Amino acid sequence: MEKIRTLRGFRDIFGEELEKFKRIERVFRKYSDLLGFREVELPVLEKTELFVRSIGDTTDIVEKEMFTFTDVGGDSLTMRPEATAGMVRSYLQEGLYATERMTKVCSVGPMFRHERPQKGRYREFHQIDVEVFGVKEAIVDAELIFMIRMLLDELGIDRYRIEVNSVGCKTCRESFRKVLIDFFETRKSELCEDCLRRLERNPLRIFDCKNEQCIRVTGDSPLLFDSLCDECKDHFTLFQGYVKEFGIEVDINKRLVRGLDYYTKTVFEVTSEDLGAQKAFMAGGRYDNLVEEMGGPATAGIGFAIGVERLAMLVPASREKEDRGCFFACVGDRARDHLISILKACTTEGITLRYAYEAKSLKAQMRYADNLKCDFVLILGDDEIEKGIITLRNMSAKTQQELPLDPQKVVMEIKRQVIGNR
């Protein structure tokens, strides 16, 4: 019979990788709390329309990467491919725009995109998401960069670049679009097939192309950054100044563009050369029109997402020594009768107690205990029972002592030695 395995791009996450996930979340929650973010948990499944309207119906995500199906009632439903859409929906649905002057929220969970898997890219992947609604001032843009910096520092990651850019607002982007199309029309013959398609669709994304020839062309092209309107220019200048005050170095990448339609003004990406081709592991930006476009009041917004799988690849393996607890080795049926009382006492007092469920030779049990890297082994057999004692062996010190056969006293002694071990 064929083994059933996970769907393509879906994985079991466990062991060392899961430990890194947990560490990342722990560090994240520390700073999201400190900076006043409120955590929310949102549905994984939403109406398809939510994503079509927010992400943009000509983006690749919406066109070919969503897990979409029709449910029994006939509605088109979609497994969320990113977090911001749901966050905006929730902000509007819960009426937060009316009850607080600004809103800082964050969320952690799985996202789904129907893409071809590769290094650092899966169909089910995890994002940590941060959003601020109702603040148009550039100081909050810088605050998010600061937050990113604190996270990276505490996680012990130092090989990365923070790239920033401005993609302007509706007005400056529209007028620039025409300039850009005119330019590329004159150089059409030099562009690759993909870029010719981009020219029709979204010419800004030609800047993303990895083809050398195209890169040469874009080198000669006018840049959106250089034709920002005064408001957008001022916003970016302020942002830069605040970032500098935080003492954070960022690289201005005037070619940086994002794949989602809703971004305005500030955009940023954190990249690492240690990740393979998918080198961006955090990214975000401002979206000052999105809330209104989704049917809410005109409300500024900004946020970013962390790709947890990608970030985990950069997190150094933790070398914290974990407490492997104690093993109970028993010889003979009479000894087994004491198992439950000892297990109860240990568990109550916070000591991990493990033992062999099936009867085995003492040698086998010792081997097992060693295998589990237990720090202590309790040995109980007929000899001990006769004398009313139990043997406690310290595995690393290779010493052992006799204790009275009393679960409470045994547990107290182990606790005392555990503290001494540290």
Partner RNA sequence: GUGGGUGUAGCUCAAAGGUUAGAGCAUCAGGCUGUGGUCCUGGGGGCUGAGGGUUCGAGACCCUUCACCCACCCCA
The encoded tokens of residue 101 equal 């002057």
Site for RNA in 45-84 (CB under 7 A): 59-61, 65, 82
Q: Tell me the HSE value of 347 on the side-chain side, using a 13 A CA sphere.
A: 7
Shorter beta-carbon distance to RNA: residue 319 or 363: 363
Site for RNA in 196-235 (CB under 7 A): 198, 205, 208-211
The encoded tokens of residue 116 equal 């071809």
Site for RNA in 310-349 (CB under 7 A): 310, 331
User: Of these, 43, 170, 382, 409, which contacts RNA (CB under 7 A)?
Assistant: 382
Shorter beta-carbon distance to RNA: residue 127 or 289: 127
Shorter beta-carbon distance to RNA: residue 66 or 169: 66
Strand 353-355 to strand 326-330: parallel, antiparallel, or no bridges (unpaired)?
Answer: parallel
User: Of these, 260, 312, 345, 351, which contacts RNA (CB under 7 A)?
Assistant: 260
Q: Does 190 bind RNA (CB under 7 A)?
A: no
Q: Smallest distance, Å, CB 161 to RNA? A: 13
Applying CB under 7 A, which part among 24-32, 112-120, 152-160, 232-240 lies near RNA?
112-120
Q: Does 163 bind RNA (CB under 7 A)?
A: no
Applying CB under 7 A, which part among 86-94, 139-147, 181-189, 304-312 lies near RNA?
304-312
Applying CB under 7 A, which part among 5-13, 24-32, 143-151, 239-247 lies near RNA?
5-13
Q: Smallest distance, Å, CB 121 to RNA? A: 4
Q: Smallest distance, Å, CB 31 to RNA? A: 17
Shorter beta-carbon distance to RNA: residue 70 or 118: 118
Q: Smallest distance, Å, CB 19 to RNA? A: 19
Q: What is the largest CA-CA distance in the chain?
A: 98
Q: Does 184 bind RNA (CB under 7 A)?
A: no
Site for RNA in 14-43 (CB under 7 A): none
Q: Smallest distance, Å, CB 233 to RNA? A: 24
Shorter beta-carbon distance to RNA: residue 96 or 313: 313
CA–CA dist 208, 256 (Å, integer): 7
What are the angstrom distances between the C-alpha of 179 and each of 182, 184, 193, 207, 222? 5, 9, 21, 14, 8
Applying CB under 7 A, which part among 18-26, 45-53, 340-348, 369-377 lies near RNA?
369-377
Q: Does 391 bind RNA (CB under 7 A)?
A: yes
Q: Smallest distance, Å, CB 286 to RNA? A: 13
Shorter beta-carbon distance to RNA: residue 4 or 72: 4
Which 3-state string (H, E, C) describes the chain? CCCCCCCCCCCCCCHHHHHHHHHHHHHHHHHHHHCCCEECCCCCEEEHHHHHHHHCCCCHHHHHCCEEEECCCCCEEEECCCCHHHHHHHHHHCCHHHHCCCEEEEEEEEEECCCCCECCECCEEEEEEEEEECCCCHHHHHHHHHHHHHHHHHHCCCCCEEEEEECCCHHHHHHHHHHHHHHHHHCHHHCCHHHHHHHHHCHHHHHHCCCHHHHHHHHHCCCHHHHCCHHHHHHHHHHHHHHHHCCCCCEECCCCCCCCCCCEEEEEEEECHHHCCCCEEEEEEECCCHHHHCCCCCCCEEEEEEEHHHHHHHCCCCCCCCCCCEEEEECCHHHHCCHHHHHHHHHHCCCCEEECCCCCCHHHHHHHHHHCCCCEEEEECHHHHHHCEEEEEECCCCEEEEEECCHHHHHHHHHHHHHHHC
CA–CA dist 161, 258 (Å, integer): 16
Yes or no: say if 110 and 44 are a contact pair by the CB < 8 Å rule. yes
User: Of these, 217, 228, 306, 410, which contacts RNA (CB under 7 A)?
Assistant: 306
Q: Smallest distance, Å, CB 167 to RNA? A: 12
Total number of residues that touch RNA (CB under 7 A)? 69
Applying CB under 7 A, which part among 4-12, 16-24, 32-40, 42-50 lies near RNA?
4-12
User: Of these, 67, 183, 246, 368, which contacts RNA (CB under 7 A)?
Assistant: 368
Yes or no: say if 304 and 285 are a contact pair by the CB < 8 Å rule. yes
Shorter beta-carbon distance to RNA: residue 31 or 207: 207
Residues that bind RNA (CB under 7 A): 5-9, 59-61, 65, 82, 113, 115-122, 125, 127, 194, 198, 205, 208-211, 258-260, 269, 276-283, 305-307, 309-310, 331, 360-364, 366-371, 377, 379, 381-384, 391, 393, 395-396, 398, 400
